[in-house]
Structure 1
Amino acid sequence: MGLLRWSRDHAARTAVYTVAEPGQAVYFATVSETTELNGPTLLRIIGPPAVGKMTVGYDIAQLTGMKVFHNHLAIEPVLRFFEFGSEPFARLVGGFRRRVFEEVAASDLAGLIFTFVRAFDVPADEIELESYAAPFHSRGGRVFYLELSASQEVRLERNEGELRLAEKPSKRDLEWSRRNLLELDAKYQLNSNGEYEGRADYLRIDSTELSSAAVAKLTIEHFGLGQRS
Protein backbone atom coordinates (compact mmCIF):
# COMPACT_ATOMS: atom_id res chain seq x y z
CA MET A 1 0.00 0.00 0.00
CA GLY A 2 1.21 3.46 -0.81
CA LEU A 3 2.00 6.39 1.38
CA LEU A 4 -0.91 8.70 2.14
CA ARG A 5 0.15 12.31 2.63
CA TRP A 6 -1.99 15.36 3.10
CA SER A 7 -1.72 19.10 3.31
CA ARG A 8 -4.29 21.79 3.97
CA ASP A 9 -4.95 25.08 2.23
CA HIS A 10 -6.60 27.15 4.95
CA ALA A 11 -7.50 30.00 2.60
CA ALA A 12 -9.28 27.72 0.15
CA ARG A 13 -10.59 25.46 2.97
CA THR A 14 -9.53 22.33 1.13
CA ALA A 15 -7.35 19.35 1.94
CA VAL A 16 -5.05 17.81 -0.65
CA TYR A 17 -4.31 14.10 -0.40
CA THR A 18 -1.44 12.47 -2.26
CA VAL A 19 -0.78 8.77 -2.63
CA ALA A 20 2.53 7.50 -3.93
CA GLU A 21 3.06 3.91 -4.99
CA PRO A 22 6.44 2.39 -5.81
CA GLY A 23 6.88 2.64 -9.55
CA GLN A 24 3.61 4.48 -10.06
CA ALA A 25 2.67 8.06 -10.75
CA VAL A 26 1.47 10.24 -7.92
CA TYR A 27 -2.17 11.25 -7.97
CA PHE A 28 -3.97 13.91 -5.99
CA ALA A 29 -7.43 15.27 -5.45
CA THR A 30 -9.09 17.77 -3.16
CA VAL A 31 -12.09 17.68 -0.88
CA SER A 32 -13.65 20.81 0.53
CA GLU A 33 -14.47 21.25 4.19
CA THR A 34 -17.67 22.96 3.10
CA THR A 35 -18.98 19.92 1.19
CA GLU A 36 -22.66 19.42 1.98
CA LEU A 37 -23.09 16.59 4.46
CA ASN A 38 -26.89 16.33 4.35
CA GLY A 39 -28.99 14.25 2.01
CA PRO A 40 -28.31 10.99 0.19
CA THR A 41 -24.87 10.00 -1.11
CA LEU A 42 -24.04 8.78 -4.62
CA LEU A 43 -20.59 7.43 -5.44
CA ARG A 44 -19.98 6.88 -9.14
CA ILE A 45 -17.05 4.53 -9.81
CA ILE A 46 -15.78 4.87 -13.35
CA GLY A 47 -12.92 3.34 -15.31
CA PRO A 48 -12.16 0.90 -18.14
CA PRO A 49 -13.41 -2.69 -18.22
CA ALA A 50 -12.04 -5.06 -15.57
CA VAL A 51 -10.28 -2.29 -13.63
CA GLY A 52 -12.03 -3.46 -10.44
CA LYS A 53 -14.96 -1.05 -10.12
CA MET A 54 -17.48 -3.60 -8.86
CA THR A 55 -15.05 -5.27 -6.44
CA VAL A 56 -14.05 -1.93 -4.93
CA GLY A 57 -17.72 -0.98 -4.75
CA TYR A 58 -18.57 -4.08 -2.73
CA ASP A 59 -15.65 -3.43 -0.39
CA ILE A 60 -16.86 0.13 0.20
CA ALA A 61 -20.41 -1.09 0.72
CA GLN A 62 -19.31 -3.61 3.33
CA LEU A 63 -17.70 -0.83 5.38
CA THR A 64 -20.30 1.88 4.91
CA GLY A 65 -23.67 0.19 4.49
CA MET A 66 -24.12 1.78 1.05
CA LYS A 67 -25.76 -0.30 -1.67
CA VAL A 68 -24.02 -1.37 -4.89
CA PHE A 69 -25.66 -0.93 -8.28
CA HIS A 70 -23.04 -2.27 -10.64
CA ASN A 71 -23.90 -1.59 -14.24
CA HIS A 72 -24.54 -5.19 -15.22
CA LEU A 73 -27.42 -5.52 -12.76
CA ALA A 74 -29.40 -3.63 -15.41
CA ILE A 75 -27.59 -4.94 -18.48
CA GLU A 76 -27.71 -8.70 -17.96
CA PRO A 77 -31.52 -9.14 -17.70
CA VAL A 78 -32.13 -7.02 -20.80
CA LEU A 79 -29.56 -8.94 -22.84
CA ARG A 80 -31.88 -11.94 -22.59
CA PHE A 81 -34.28 -10.09 -24.86
CA PHE A 82 -32.51 -7.39 -26.85
CA GLU A 83 -29.10 -6.89 -28.41
CA PHE A 84 -26.63 -4.62 -26.64
CA GLY A 85 -26.92 -1.06 -27.92
CA SER A 86 -30.29 -1.53 -29.61
CA GLU A 87 -33.03 1.03 -29.00
CA PRO A 88 -35.16 -1.29 -26.82
CA PHE A 89 -32.03 -2.24 -24.86
CA ALA A 90 -31.16 1.42 -24.23
CA ARG A 91 -34.71 2.32 -23.18
CA LEU A 92 -35.03 -0.56 -20.74
CA VAL A 93 -31.57 -0.25 -19.18
CA GLY A 94 -31.78 3.55 -18.91
CA GLY A 95 -35.30 3.45 -17.52
CA PHE A 96 -34.41 0.90 -14.85
CA ARG A 97 -31.34 2.85 -13.81
CA ARG A 98 -33.27 6.09 -13.47
CA ARG A 99 -35.96 4.48 -11.32
CA VAL A 100 -33.34 2.96 -9.01
CA PHE A 101 -31.58 6.31 -8.57
CA GLU A 102 -34.85 8.11 -7.90
CA GLU A 103 -36.00 5.60 -5.30
CA VAL A 104 -32.66 5.42 -3.50
CA ALA A 105 -32.32 9.20 -3.41
CA ALA A 106 -35.76 9.43 -1.80
CA SER A 107 -35.07 6.66 0.72
CA ASP A 108 -33.28 6.48 4.05
CA LEU A 109 -30.61 4.14 2.69
CA ALA A 110 -26.99 4.96 3.48
CA GLY A 111 -26.29 5.72 -0.19
CA LEU A 112 -25.66 4.21 -3.60
CA ILE A 113 -22.51 3.08 -5.40
CA PHE A 114 -22.85 2.97 -9.19
CA THR A 115 -20.24 1.53 -11.56
CA PHE A 116 -19.92 2.62 -15.18
CA VAL A 117 -17.45 2.43 -18.07
CA ARG A 118 -17.25 6.05 -19.15
CA ALA A 119 -15.75 7.13 -22.47
CA PHE A 120 -14.28 10.57 -21.86
CA ASP A 121 -14.33 11.35 -25.58
CA VAL A 122 -18.09 10.67 -25.80
CA PRO A 123 -19.96 13.69 -24.34
CA ALA A 124 -23.18 11.69 -24.04
CA ASP A 125 -21.62 9.56 -21.30
CA GLU A 126 -21.10 12.56 -19.01
CA ILE A 127 -24.61 13.80 -19.74
CA GLU A 128 -26.00 10.37 -18.87
CA LEU A 129 -24.09 10.17 -15.60
CA GLU A 130 -25.21 13.64 -14.59
CA SER A 131 -28.82 12.77 -15.32
CA TYR A 132 -28.56 9.82 -12.92
CA ALA A 133 -27.11 12.12 -10.26
CA ALA A 134 -29.95 14.64 -10.57
CA PRO A 135 -32.23 13.06 -7.91
CA PHE A 136 -29.35 13.19 -5.41
CA HIS A 137 -28.47 16.80 -6.23
CA SER A 138 -32.11 17.85 -5.93
CA ARG A 139 -32.25 16.49 -2.39
CA GLY A 140 -29.07 18.22 -1.25
CA GLY A 141 -27.05 15.02 -1.39
CA ARG A 142 -23.38 14.36 -1.90
CA VAL A 143 -22.30 13.13 -5.35
CA PHE A 144 -18.76 11.88 -5.92
CA TYR A 145 -16.60 10.38 -8.65
CA LEU A 146 -14.01 7.68 -8.03
CA GLU A 147 -11.99 7.04 -11.17
CA LEU A 148 -9.91 3.87 -11.31
CA SER A 149 -7.11 3.07 -13.70
CA ALA A 150 -4.81 0.07 -14.05
CA SER A 151 -2.46 -1.37 -16.63
CA GLN A 152 -4.01 -3.32 -19.46
CA GLU A 153 -2.04 -6.40 -18.42
CA VAL A 154 -3.52 -6.34 -14.93
CA ARG A 155 -7.02 -5.72 -16.27
CA LEU A 156 -6.77 -8.70 -18.60
CA GLU A 157 -6.01 -10.81 -15.54
CA ARG A 158 -8.89 -9.31 -13.56
CA ASN A 159 -11.16 -9.92 -16.55
CA GLU A 160 -11.18 -13.60 -15.55
CA GLY A 161 -11.83 -12.97 -11.85
CA GLU A 162 -14.31 -15.19 -10.02
CA LEU A 163 -16.59 -12.40 -8.79
CA ARG A 164 -16.66 -10.73 -12.21
CA LEU A 165 -17.74 -13.92 -13.95
CA ALA A 166 -20.30 -14.75 -11.25
CA GLU A 167 -21.98 -11.33 -11.42
CA LYS A 168 -21.70 -10.78 -15.18
CA PRO A 169 -22.78 -13.82 -17.21
CA SER A 170 -22.12 -12.04 -20.52
CA LYS A 171 -18.41 -11.93 -19.62
CA ARG A 172 -18.07 -15.70 -19.29
CA ASP A 173 -17.14 -16.06 -22.94
CA LEU A 174 -13.53 -15.22 -22.11
CA GLU A 175 -12.32 -15.05 -25.70
CA TRP A 176 -15.02 -12.51 -26.58
CA SER A 177 -14.58 -10.61 -23.30
CA ARG A 178 -10.83 -10.27 -23.79
CA ARG A 179 -11.29 -9.10 -27.38
CA ASN A 180 -13.98 -6.63 -26.28
CA LEU A 181 -11.67 -5.15 -23.61
CA LEU A 182 -8.89 -4.62 -26.14
CA GLU A 183 -11.24 -3.13 -28.70
CA LEU A 184 -12.73 -0.67 -26.21
CA ASP A 185 -9.25 0.38 -25.09
CA ALA A 186 -8.29 1.08 -28.71
CA LYS A 187 -11.49 2.90 -29.63
CA TYR A 188 -12.20 5.15 -26.63
CA GLN A 189 -10.50 7.28 -24.00
CA LEU A 190 -11.51 5.40 -20.86
CA ASN A 191 -9.50 7.39 -18.30
CA SER A 192 -9.44 11.14 -17.71
CA ASN A 193 -5.63 11.45 -17.77
CA GLY A 194 -5.80 13.94 -14.92
CA GLU A 195 -8.30 16.28 -16.56
CA TYR A 196 -10.45 16.59 -13.43
CA GLU A 197 -7.80 16.74 -10.73
CA GLY A 198 -8.48 19.48 -8.25
CA ARG A 199 -12.25 18.99 -8.20
CA ALA A 200 -13.65 18.52 -4.71
CA ASP A 201 -15.93 15.71 -5.84
CA TYR A 202 -13.31 13.74 -7.77
CA LEU A 203 -10.73 11.15 -6.75
CA ARG A 204 -8.46 9.28 -9.18
CA ILE A 205 -6.55 6.16 -8.13
CA ASP A 206 -4.19 3.90 -10.07
CA SER A 207 -5.13 0.49 -8.70
CA THR A 208 -2.54 -1.50 -10.66
CA GLU A 209 -0.67 -2.50 -7.50
CA LEU A 210 -3.38 -1.82 -4.91
CA SER A 211 -5.87 -4.31 -3.50
CA SER A 212 -9.56 -3.49 -3.74
CA ALA A 213 -9.65 -3.21 0.07
CA ALA A 214 -6.86 -0.59 0.00
CA VAL A 215 -8.67 1.43 -2.69
CA ALA A 216 -11.91 1.22 -0.70
CA LYS A 217 -10.21 2.49 2.46
CA LEU A 218 -8.63 5.44 0.65
CA THR A 219 -11.97 6.34 -0.92
CA ILE A 220 -13.90 6.16 2.34
CA GLU A 221 -11.35 8.31 4.12
CA HIS A 222 -11.08 10.82 1.31
CA PHE A 223 -14.79 11.47 0.87
CA GLY A 224 -15.74 10.96 4.52
CA LEU A 225 -18.14 8.14 3.73
CA GLY A 226 -19.81 6.93 6.94
CA GLN A 227 -18.44 3.67 8.33
CA ARG A 228 -20.59 1.20 10.22
CA SER A 229 -19.55 0.55 13.81
Structure 2
Amino acid sequence: MSAAANSNGPTLLCIIGPPAVGKMTVGYEISRLTGMKVFHNHVAIEPVLRFFEFGTEPYARLVGEFRRRVLEEVAASDLPGLVFTFVQAFDVPADAAELESYVAPFRTRGGRVLFLELSASQEVRLRRNEGELRLAEKPSKRDLDWSRQNLLELDARFQLNSHSEFEGRPDYLRIDNTELSAAEVAKLTIDHFDLG
Protein backbone atom coordinates (compact mmCIF):
# COMPACT_ATOMS: atom_id res chain seq x y z
CA MET A 1 0.00 0.00 0.00
CA SER A 2 1.39 3.40 -0.90
CA ALA A 3 1.67 6.22 1.63
CA ALA A 4 -1.14 8.01 -0.17
CA ALA A 5 -3.51 5.07 -0.13
CA ASN A 6 -6.46 4.85 2.24
CA SER A 7 -5.92 2.93 5.46
CA ASN A 8 -7.97 1.53 8.30
CA GLY A 9 -6.86 3.99 10.97
CA PRO A 10 -6.14 7.67 11.33
CA THR A 11 -3.17 9.33 9.69
CA LEU A 12 -0.21 10.55 11.72
CA LEU A 13 1.88 13.22 10.02
CA CYS A 14 5.14 13.74 11.88
CA ILE A 15 6.77 17.06 11.09
CA ILE A 16 10.42 16.92 12.07
CA GLY A 17 13.26 19.38 11.82
CA PRO A 18 15.44 21.70 13.89
CA PRO A 19 14.12 24.34 16.28
CA ALA A 20 12.31 27.31 14.72
CA VAL A 21 12.21 25.74 11.26
CA GLY A 22 8.44 26.21 11.13
CA LYS A 23 7.06 22.82 12.17
CA MET A 24 4.21 24.17 14.28
CA THR A 25 3.29 26.94 11.84
CA VAL A 26 3.17 24.49 8.93
CA GLY A 27 1.24 22.06 11.12
CA TYR A 28 -1.43 24.66 11.84
CA GLU A 29 -1.72 25.47 8.15
CA ILE A 30 -2.14 21.77 7.31
CA SER A 31 -4.75 21.57 10.08
CA ARG A 32 -6.64 24.53 8.63
CA LEU A 33 -6.76 22.85 5.22
CA THR A 34 -7.44 19.25 6.28
CA GLY A 35 -9.12 19.32 9.68
CA MET A 36 -6.32 17.25 11.24
CA LYS A 37 -5.56 18.27 14.83
CA VAL A 38 -2.10 19.58 15.79
CA PHE A 39 -0.08 18.18 18.69
CA HIS A 40 3.07 20.30 18.63
CA ASN A 41 5.88 19.26 20.92
CA HIS A 42 5.44 22.14 23.37
CA VAL A 43 1.87 21.09 24.20
CA ALA A 44 3.55 18.42 26.35
CA ILE A 45 6.67 20.39 27.28
CA GLU A 46 5.23 23.62 28.69
CA PRO A 47 3.05 22.12 31.47
CA VAL A 48 5.89 19.91 32.69
CA LEU A 49 8.35 22.83 32.81
CA ARG A 50 6.17 24.34 35.54
CA PHE A 51 7.39 21.55 37.82
CA PHE A 52 10.65 20.09 36.49
CA GLU A 53 13.62 21.54 34.64
CA PHE A 54 14.25 20.65 31.02
CA GLY A 55 16.32 17.47 30.67
CA THR A 56 15.76 16.08 34.16
CA GLU A 57 14.53 12.50 34.56
CA PRO A 58 11.05 13.50 35.83
CA TYR A 59 10.74 15.96 32.93
CA ALA A 60 11.66 13.31 30.35
CA ARG A 61 9.32 10.71 31.86
CA LEU A 62 6.33 13.03 32.05
CA VAL A 63 6.75 14.56 28.58
CA GLY A 64 7.28 11.13 27.02
CA GLU A 65 4.31 9.59 28.78
CA PHE A 66 2.02 12.51 27.96
CA ARG A 67 2.96 12.30 24.28
CA ARG A 68 2.51 8.52 24.15
CA ARG A 69 -0.90 8.60 25.83
CA VAL A 70 -2.26 11.32 23.54
CA LEU A 71 -0.95 9.50 20.48
CA GLU A 72 -2.42 6.18 21.67
CA GLU A 73 -5.84 7.75 22.20
CA VAL A 74 -5.84 9.48 18.81
CA ALA A 75 -4.74 6.27 17.08
CA ALA A 76 -7.72 4.48 18.67
CA SER A 77 -10.18 7.28 17.88
CA ASP A 78 -12.40 8.24 14.97
CA LEU A 79 -10.35 11.38 14.32
CA PRO A 80 -9.09 11.57 10.72
CA GLY A 81 -5.55 12.21 11.81
CA LEU A 82 -3.01 14.16 13.78
CA VAL A 83 -0.07 16.41 13.01
CA PHE A 84 2.75 15.80 15.51
CA THR A 85 5.95 17.88 15.67
CA PHE A 86 9.28 16.62 16.95
CA VAL A 87 12.91 17.76 16.98
CA GLN A 88 15.00 14.71 16.10
CA ALA A 89 18.77 14.50 16.41
CA PHE A 90 19.62 12.15 13.55
CA ASP A 91 22.96 11.28 15.13
CA VAL A 92 21.31 10.12 18.38
CA PRO A 93 19.79 6.63 17.95
CA ALA A 94 17.62 7.12 21.04
CA ASP A 95 15.76 9.92 19.25
CA ALA A 96 14.79 7.61 16.38
CA ALA A 97 13.66 4.99 18.89
CA GLU A 98 11.62 7.58 20.79
CA LEU A 99 9.90 8.77 17.62
CA GLU A 100 9.17 5.18 16.63
CA SER A 101 7.54 4.59 20.04
CA TYR A 102 5.23 7.54 19.36
CA VAL A 103 4.17 6.33 15.91
CA ALA A 104 3.78 2.66 16.94
CA PRO A 105 0.09 2.94 17.97
CA PHE A 106 -0.80 4.20 14.50
CA ARG A 107 1.16 1.43 12.80
CA THR A 108 -0.46 -1.19 15.06
CA ARG A 109 -3.95 -0.02 14.13
CA GLY A 110 -3.23 0.12 10.40
CA GLY A 111 -3.05 3.90 10.19
CA ARG A 112 -0.81 5.84 7.87
CA VAL A 113 2.41 7.22 9.31
CA LEU A 114 3.97 9.98 7.24
CA PHE A 115 7.04 12.14 7.75
CA LEU A 116 7.59 15.72 6.64
CA GLU A 117 11.11 16.95 7.30
CA LEU A 118 11.71 20.69 7.17
CA SER A 119 15.05 22.42 6.76
CA ALA A 120 15.93 26.10 6.60
CA SER A 121 18.99 28.26 6.95
CA GLN A 122 20.09 29.13 10.45
CA GLU A 123 19.67 32.83 9.67
CA VAL A 124 16.01 32.35 8.78
CA ARG A 125 15.42 30.10 11.78
CA LEU A 126 16.90 32.71 14.12
CA ARG A 127 14.36 35.22 12.75
CA ARG A 128 11.51 32.73 13.07
CA ASN A 129 12.62 32.03 16.65
CA GLU A 130 11.15 35.43 17.57
CA GLY A 131 7.87 34.95 15.70
CA GLU A 132 4.60 35.97 17.34
CA LEU A 133 2.89 32.56 17.08
CA ARG A 134 5.98 30.76 18.40
CA LEU A 135 6.20 33.00 21.45
CA ALA A 136 2.44 32.78 22.07
CA GLU A 137 2.40 28.97 21.97
CA LYS A 138 5.76 28.35 23.67
CA PRO A 139 6.22 30.45 26.82
CA SER A 140 9.61 28.87 27.53
CA LYS A 141 10.93 30.50 24.33
CA ARG A 142 10.05 34.05 25.44
CA ASP A 143 13.49 34.56 26.97
CA LEU A 144 14.88 35.46 23.56
CA ASP A 145 18.55 35.53 24.58
CA TRP A 146 18.31 32.05 26.06
CA SER A 147 16.22 30.75 23.17
CA ARG A 148 18.66 32.07 20.57
CA GLN A 149 21.63 30.59 22.41
CA ASN A 150 19.82 27.26 22.80
CA LEU A 151 19.14 27.11 19.06
CA LEU A 152 22.78 27.81 18.24
CA GLU A 153 24.01 25.23 20.75
CA LEU A 154 21.68 22.52 19.45
CA ASP A 155 22.82 23.24 15.88
CA ALA A 156 26.45 22.91 16.96
CA ARG A 157 25.95 19.69 18.95
CA PHE A 158 23.56 17.63 16.86
CA GLN A 159 22.66 16.66 13.30
CA LEU A 160 19.13 18.06 13.16
CA ASN A 161 18.41 17.28 9.51
CA SER A 162 18.84 14.03 7.62
CA HIS A 163 21.17 13.63 4.70
CA SER A 164 19.86 11.45 1.87
CA GLU A 165 19.04 8.28 3.79
CA PHE A 166 15.27 8.64 3.41
CA GLU A 167 15.14 9.66 -0.25
CA GLY A 168 12.66 7.69 -2.32
CA ARG A 169 10.49 6.52 0.59
CA PRO A 170 6.79 7.01 -0.18
CA ASP A 171 6.11 7.99 3.45
CA TYR A 172 8.79 10.71 3.57
CA LEU A 173 8.97 14.22 2.18
CA ARG A 174 11.77 16.71 2.80
CA ILE A 175 11.25 20.39 2.06
CA ASP A 176 13.70 23.26 2.39
CA ASN A 177 11.35 26.00 3.52
CA THR A 178 13.94 28.77 3.78
CA GLU A 179 12.14 30.71 1.03
CA LEU A 180 8.66 29.16 1.33
CA SER A 181 5.66 30.28 3.37
CA ALA A 182 3.85 27.90 5.69
CA ALA A 183 0.91 27.93 3.28
CA GLU A 184 3.16 26.87 0.38
CA VAL A 185 4.72 24.05 2.41
CA ALA A 186 1.30 22.87 3.58
CA LYS A 187 0.01 22.76 0.01
CA LEU A 188 3.06 20.81 -1.19
CA THR A 189 2.66 18.35 1.68
CA ILE A 190 -1.08 17.87 1.25
CA ASP A 191 -0.67 17.28 -2.48
CA HIS A 192 2.31 14.94 -2.04
CA PHE A 193 0.59 12.73 0.55
CA ASP A 194 -2.94 13.18 -0.80
CA LEU A 195 -4.19 14.51 2.53
CA GLY A 196 -7.03 16.55 1.04
**TM-score with structure 1 length normalisation?**
0.83
Percent identity for Structure 1 against Structure 2: 80
Cα deviation 1:22-63 (Å, max 9, x = unaligned): xxxxxxxxx937845331100000000000000000000011
Q: Is the 8 A contact 2:3 2:114 kept in 1?
A: no
Match of 1:66 among 36, 49, 54: 36
Query: Partner of 2:158 in structure 1?
Result: 188
Match of 2:76 among 96, 100, 106: 106
Match of 1:52 among 18, 22, 33: 22
* Deviation, structure 1 residue 118: 0.4
Q: C-alpha distance in 2, partners of 1:171/1:122?
A: 24
Cα deviation 1:110-147 (Å, max 9, x = unaligned): 10111011000000111111111111011110000000
Query: Partner of 2:127 in structure 1?
Result: 157
Secondary structure in 2 matching 1:196: coil
Q: C-alpha distance in 2, partners of 1:109/1:38?
A: 12
Counterpart residue identity of residue 119, structure 1? A
Q: Is the 8 A contact 1:64 1:110 kept in 2?
A: no
Q: Is the 8 A contact 2:9 2:112 kept in 1?
A: yes
Q: Is the 8 A contact 2:4 2:193 kept in 1?
A: no
Structure 2: gaps (5+ residues): none
Structure number with the higher strand fraction is: 1
Query: Partner of 1:143 in structure 2?
Result: 113
Cα deviation 1:70-128 (Å, max 9, x = unaligned): 00000000001001111110111111111100100111111011101100000011111
Tell me how many residue pairs correspond in the alignment.
196
The structure whose Rg is larger is 1
Query: Partner of 2:63 in structure 1?
Result: 93
Q: Confirm or deny that 1:125 pairs with 2:95.
A: yes
Q: Is the 8 A contact 2:40 2:85 kept in 1?
A: yes
Q: Is the 8 A contact 1:36 1:140 kept in 2?
A: no
Q: C-alpha distance in 1, partners of 2:170/2:191?
A: 14
Match of 2:144 among 170, 174, 193: 174
Match of 1:213 among 174, 183, 190: 183
Q: C-alpha distance in 2, partners of 1:33/1:101?
A: 19
Structure 1: gaps (5+ residues): 1-30
Q: Is the 8 A contact 2:116 2:174 kept in 1?
A: yes
Secondary structure in 1 matching 2:101: helix
4+ runs deviating over 6 angstroms: none
**Superposition map of 1:70-89 within 5 A:** 70-89=40-59
Q: C-alpha distance in 1, partners of 2:5/2:94?
A: 27
Secondary structure in 2 matching 1:205: strand
| Distance change in 2, residues 1:33/1:57 (3 Å) | closer
Q: C-alpha distance in 1, partners of 2:132/2:51?
A: 25
Secondary structure in 1 matching 2:24: helix
Secondary structure in 1 matching 2:136: helix
* Deviation, structure 1 residue 163: 0.1
Root-mean-square deviation over aligned CA pairs: 1.3
Q: Relative contact order (alpha carbons < 8 A, sep ≥ 6): 1 or 2 greater? A: 2
Secondary structure in 2 matching 1:43: strand
* Deviation, structure 1 residue 194: 2.1
Counterpart residue identity of residue 88, structure 2? R
